[in-house]
Amino acid sequence: NQMIAVADIEEIEEVVEEEEMFEDVPFAVIEEAPVYTGCKGDKVQKKKCLQEKIREHVNRKFNTELAGELGLEAGSKKVYVQFRIDHTGTITDIRARGPHVRLEKEAIRVVRSLPKMIPGRQRGRPVSVKYTLPITLRVV
C-alpha cells in the first residue's frame, strides 16, 4: 500500500471561541490573514499564498509510508487538523481527527513544524486565527 498526502483547501465553517485577551477570528472572515514567510501582494493574494504554502508544507513533510504500515484499505481518507495561528504568529492548540490515531499524530507533527508567521489582524490589532486544514490521503 502506498499513500499520497494531498492537503485540500476547503471552506469550513469555523466556531469562534472566546479567549481571555485575544479573541479567535475564523480564517474565513479575518480582515488581514496571517502571512506566511515569503508571501506578498494584496490581502487576497497573501491569504491564497498562505493556504498554498501550508498545503505544500504538508505534502512535503507528511510521512506517506504510514499507509503501508497501518494496512489501511485503498481509497480516500481524511484527517482534519484544527490549529491556531496565535497573536504572535505561533502555531498553537493543534488538534486532529482522522481514521487512525497514527495519522492524527503525524498530521499534528507536520502542522507543528510550520514556521512562525506574521499574525493575522482584526480591526488593526493582532489576533489569534483559527484554521482548519483537511488533509486527504489517497491510499492505493
Predicted confidence (pLDDT) per residue in 47-72, tens digit: 999 999 999 999 999 997 786 688 88
Through-space distance between the first and last CA atoms of the chain, rounded to whole angstroms = 6
Non-local (6+) Cβ contacts of 87 within 8 A are 22, 119, 126, 127, 128
Which of 109, 100, 97, 105 is closest to 134 using CA atoms? 97
Predicted confidence (pLDDT) per residue in 102-119, tens digit: 999 999 999 999 999 999
Confidence at residue 109, expressed as pLDDT on a 0 to 100 scale: 98
| Beta strand pairing call for 125-139 and 24-26 | parallel
